[in-house]
Structure 1
Amino acid sequence: MPEPKSRRHGAELESAILDAAWAELVEVGYAKLTMEGVAARAGTSKPVVYRRWPGRPELVLAAWRRRVPDGGDLPDTGALRSDLLALLHRFVHRFQDTPRDVLAGLMSETFRDPEVFALLLKQIAATRQWPAVETVVRKAVERGEIPPVQITPRVARVPLDLIRAEAIFHHREIDEKTITEIVDDVLLPLLRGLAHTESPGEE
């Protein structure tokens, strides 16, 4: 007869639930994931799960946030183009490590629930693409590759917004060609255009 599991509390219990939620996502997908299934896999009860997360979207977002790395040190290849390519590869890696239907399922939830939409936006903002892009561009300015340019949050969101659009709305694989086109056809022209506009002496 197996020994009963020791009673878990706090961070240990939360970790077990989030691990179970991710395992359920990988196995059954977002659409079929249930709070009951997560509770059973985690060896706890449904009320315990609901005390921490009010619904499926909140639980999935928490599990996703825990699994997605912050990216570590920023690329520093010595050139703006190769730094941007390396940065976009990191963004794409985050999508590839996420079950395909998770983001699509969350997006559909946002149309029904403004609170879920707010949570999703907050999580996306926490992926640190703004300071990452800003730092990469600042290094290029310091090397003299481009004139000084101010990176606004909207500009910094462009690469990740394009990747999300390709993956979620158009259901396309983000391959090397797509990453290169985003950098060469969109990001570099945008940054050079902004730098030209803001150069000293321009009227």
Structure 2
Amino acid sequence: MSLNTRRRGADLEDAILDAAWAVLIDSGYNGFTFEAIAARAGTSRPVLYRRWPHRDDLLVATLRRHWASRPIEVPDTGSLRADAIGFLRNVDQGRTGLMTLISAQLVEYFRATGTNFRDLRDSLRPPGQPTGFARIVGRAVERGEIPDVTRSPRIIDLPFDLFRNEMLMTMRPVSTEWITETVDLIWLPLLRAT
């Protein structure tokens, strides 16, 4: 590549992150090396090292870009139940494939770093941004649908945690029936009991 056509700045970073995503998908965490990514991006390893000194820094940047490019709409229907069901349906449509893939491809990352999917998810979320279910519960409190009491984040995010478990156990989209039962029979009674 000549000096006049050499990529720089955002163009180069986009090419690197696209290449890194492709390497992660194709080869998993074990194959996620600076050498493989540089070759796929058509650049050199020192270019990557200057931006991301450690492989895990590049991994998080790659996941953040691809996670953020698939935002999940948090419905605001005026109903706690409808918002919760709608949000889980949106997650199912927008993230099931990505979550399954990430979970499978990052087993070695979680093992090597002693972290888990929750830790990774929290590092990808912009600082201070509440979870989708925290927003849904907050709006329901403002509308007077449920009492304004302190609730554990585990209770607030329980539908998502159960959803993720169901999705990982079945490795396929989660049914509308499962979503409705989880909201109606488990989460809403638990929220109202606290």
The TM-score with structure 2 as length reference comes to 0.75
Secondary structure of 1:76's partner? coil
Cα distance between partner residues in 2 of 1:48 and 1:186: 50
Q: CA RMSD in A?
A: 3.3
* 1:71-99 alpha-carbon deviations (Å, 9 max, x no partner): 47631112111100122233334533527
Q: For structure 2, list consecutive stretches of 5 or more residues without a partner in the other structure.
A: none
Number of paired residues? 190
Q: CA deviation at 1:66?
A: 0.7
Identity among equivalent positions (%) equals 39
Secondary structure of 2:98's partner? coil
Residues 1-203 of structure 1 aligned to structure 2 (within 5 Å)? 6-26=5-25, 28-30=26-28, 32-53=31-52, 54-55=54-55, 57-69=56-68, 71=71, 74-98=74-98, 100-114=100-114, 120=120, 122-123=122-123, 126=126, 130-168=130-168, 170-175=169-174, 176-194=176-194
Q: CA deviation at 1:191?
A: 0.7
Tell me whether 3-12 or 59-68 shows the greater mean CA deviation: 3-12
Cα distance between partner residues in 2 of 1:14 and 1:63: 10
- The question of whether the paired residues in 1 share the 8 Å contact of 2:60 and 2:124 is answered with no
Q: What amino acid maps onto 2:35 in structure 1?
A: E
Q: CA deviation at 1:121?
A: 5.3
Q: What amino acid maps onto 2:123 in structure 1?
A: Q
Cα distance between partner residues in 1 of 2:71 and 2:102: 20
Q: Larger Rg: 1 or 2?
A: 1
Distance 1:116 1:144, change over 3 A: closer
The TM-score with structure 1 as length reference comes to 0.72
